Structure 1
Amino acid sequence: MMRKHQKGSLTVEVAIGLPILMMAIFTWIELCVFTYSLTVTDHALTTGVMRVKKLGDASNSKTIDYDRMLQEQLKRSGGALWNNVVKPESITAKIRYFRNYDDLLNCSYSGSENVEECPTAEEQPKNMAIAVYELRYEYQPMFNYLLPKMQIRREVLSVQEYERCTFKVGQGAGCAS
């Protein structure tokens, strides 16, 4: 038997609870897409660096535009949904080179937050054994009221394959002549 004062209580409960439930679902979806974008970007950068660092030859007779090659590899390795999650125009990739391990350490100890600010970082790859590949992009959330735009920055440190013989740490390191 239904009492008179209980009429419409289900409607009120749904009206209050449904927006909260929908907000929780959309937040979960947003976090899943954000995690996906981070993961796919990490994979694309790692795969791109893995391929780009092997370009060139031991004689250094070929000049290679590593920045352009990295951009091409990122497009190729990003996957089918990457362009839907990350705006291609917001992606910037830069490579900074270091002659040796000490130059890289000096950059770390100098307190430079960005590799670009480091005095020992070079833009030209000639005779540079270590490279720091940096990728930046802007993540735009699907639901603007939940999360603000975020600047995402990833870095990968790599020994350039064609220069690996000049990268020596400790005794016995390096290539046999």
Structure 2
Amino acid sequence: MNSLNRQLSPGKNNQNGLVTTEFVIGFLLFFFFLMFWVEICVIGYLSSVVDYAIAESSRTARASANANYDAVFRNAIRNSGDFWTSVVDPNKFTVSVEFYNSINEAASRVGSSVGSDKPIALYRVSYQYEPMFSYLYDADTMNFTREVFAIQEFERDQFSQ
């Protein structure tokens, strides 16, 4: 009887391990695409976080009566108690502020780091992200940069244009 079964299914022994091999290849491809999707979601989240950080920080700085807008802006990012600070490393942010006397100075980007008596400010926030799949991108890190021009609330009397 055993020899009859062998004659009826001669290729059965040749397929041992094929299901395991197909599962491993399929699972690895599924896992790779899942991780790539997670990477895209993280990039989208970081882009939103940088947008939110610059919007809230520039709002806090431009409405401050303190003349040191640069320090107010940096502290607003560092001391934010929002959820994103527990997910994103605030130390990877780079912040810069330039101040201008007029729209013409702002257009030519001839600014100063001193903000007293300068009504226009350019707030810039950058975040450096190291992607999981860095070999898919041109560089090892991705840099998210956002800029906001703002009229300083307590310097409005200097703004004549």
Give the alignment's TM-score, normalised by structure 1.
0.73
- Give the letter for the 1:135 counterpart: V
- Whichever of the two has the greater Rg, that structure is 2
Answer yes or no: is the 8 Å Cα contact 1:47–1:77 preserved in 2.
Answer: no
- Give the letter for the 2:152 counterpart: Q
* Higher alpha-carbon deviation: 66-75 or 140-149: 140-149
Identity score, percent: 27
Please give the alpha-carbon distance, in whole angstroms, between the structure 2 residues aligned to 1:65 and 1:129: 13
Give the deviation of 1:167 after TM superposition: 2.7
List per-residue Cα deviations over 1:35-74 (Å, max 9, x = no partner).
Answer: 1111012101101111110112xxxxxx532222112211
**Are 2:26 and 1:34 equivalent residues in the alignment?**
no
1:102-121 aligned within 5 A = 102-105=104-107, 107=108, 118=109, 120-121=110-111
- Give the letter for the 2:70 counterpart: D
Aligned residues: CA RMSD: 2.3
**Are 2:83 and 1:66 equivalent residues in the alignment?**
no
Identify the residue that residue 110 of structure 1 maps to in structure 2. Answer: none
**Are 2:108 and 1:99 equivalent residues in the alignment?**
no
**For this pair of structures, how many residues does the alignment match?**
150
**Unpaired runs of at least 5, structure 1:** 57-62, 108-117, 170-177
Please give the alpha-carbon distance, in whole angstroms, between the structure 2 residues aligned to 1:153 and 1:138: 9
Give the deviation of 1:131 after TM superposition: 0.3
Answer yes or no: is the 8 Å Cα contact 1:141–1:149 preserved in 2.
Answer: yes
Which of the two has greater helix per residue?
2
Please give the alpha-carbon distance, in whole angstroms, between the structure 1 residues aligned to 2:50 and 2:81: 7
- Give the letter for the 1:100 counterpart: S
Give the deviation of 1:151 after TM superposition: 2.1
